[in-house]
Structure 1
């Protein structure tokens, strides 16, 4: 933990975390904390445990830091950051991650009833390929099947190619939020950014076609000027409901 900050409880972290857009260039910054917090982020919940994410660290000493600042539209949250973390989705790795889950299940359930292992393996051997495979018209056909089955019983409706892409980005966002909370718990500030030239960022990082940029997170010790006013939220009554 950063020695200059008192240990925070979870709700303290939630209350004090802000998107800080200007970071201190002079105060000490422990880059190892970023690694620690990213390792915590990999424990975030994610769809089907496929873990279709990657995290690229760009510290201030990296030759890629200044070019990446420019691709973040010259935002101060990027240019003053002591390190940038690029959160990348890798939907294209679903087969590799599926295989890893299958191997884990075989090892975990080797002494369990065969029916339990069979059911778990069927999830990754049948359902996941049906959702993640790409064939001509397959996205449309999945939606048609979901609509037809849904006439008779409850059915998952979000099965299109766009829906799967959104699901992968949701998982990456959960990891990103976990990372930012962890950084705050360690006494550092962050700022998630969507304003970027994602195409050029992919080229800069030499990422494959199937990769997508979910967000870029600036990290550092925030300056007071980096918080643009008091936090504003609409009343809870407008967003939280009991039925």
Structure 2
């Protein structure tokens, strides 16, 4: 599918065929392409928790105000961020770069994140946001629909998935075969309202 067409046709779908299953090959393809997303310092903070246990998905649905797409979609991905990824063997993030680049960037990572909790959180969430959009566009190209979700009890879901202490949940992405299309776009703002050149007045 053409990229621009995928962007136009990507919608947040709420109703999915609960009988449809994705193959492992499809899941691997979706996640492999998602991992090509840009990320701060190439740290790849994202962790993709794929929930396959039906009982666990039901409990997560209950923690999501009983939204049906949590269990009915073919795939539920809890998109998490490892806040301490920056200090977990950071050499590996630049191992294929020329030596001068490695020598410059690895210390830069450590200097930037050390004692900077705000940067840890902000950069991790930005990276997760870019990965989420990539995932939804790849899914559309593969013939699937998606919905990004933050309508759930973050603390409760964290308990259910045994979220590590230094991780946070960014959002859910559900992926599957729509049984009802999304409604028409409710109201896009005009370009001139959202695009500002040079500076705000």
Query: Which residues of structure 2 form unaligned runs of 5+?
Result: none
Matched, 1:51 2:49: no
Hey, what does 1:121 align to over in structure 2?
Answer: 103
Regions of 4+ moved over 4 Å = none
Deviation at 1:221, TM superposition (A): 0.8
Matched, 1:100 2:81: no
- Asked whether the equivalents of residues 52 and 97 of structure 1 are also in contact (C-alpha less than 8 Å), the reply is no
> TM-score scaled by structure 2?
0.88
Give the 3-state SS of the residue equivalent to 1:63 in structure 2: helix
Hey, what does 1:68 align to over in structure 2?
Answer: 60
Give the 3-state SS of the residue equivalent to 1:101 in structure 2: helix
Q: Which of 201, 212, 233 is matched with 2:188 structurally?
A: 233
Hey, what does 2:4 align to over in structure 1?
Answer: 11
Give the 3-state SS of the residue equivalent to 2:134 in structure 1: helix
Hey, what does 1:197 align to over in structure 2?
Answer: 153
Give the 3-state SS of the residue equivalent to 1:180 in structure 2: helix
> In the aligned structure 1, how far is the partner of 2:171 from the partner of 2:23?
19
RMSD between superposed Cα atoms in Å: 1.9
Q: C-alpha deviations, 1:153-181, integer Å up to 9, x for none? A: xxxxxxxx324311110101101110110
Give the 3-state SS of the residue equivalent to 1:45 in structure 2: coil
Hey, what does 2:114 align to over in structure 1?
Answer: 133
Q: Which has the larger radius of gyration?
A: 1
Q: C-alpha deviations, 1:96-117, integer Å up to 9, x for none? A: 2513135x05xx43xxxxxxx3
> TM-score scaled by structure 1?
0.74
Hey, what does 1:222 align to over in structure 2?
Answer: 178
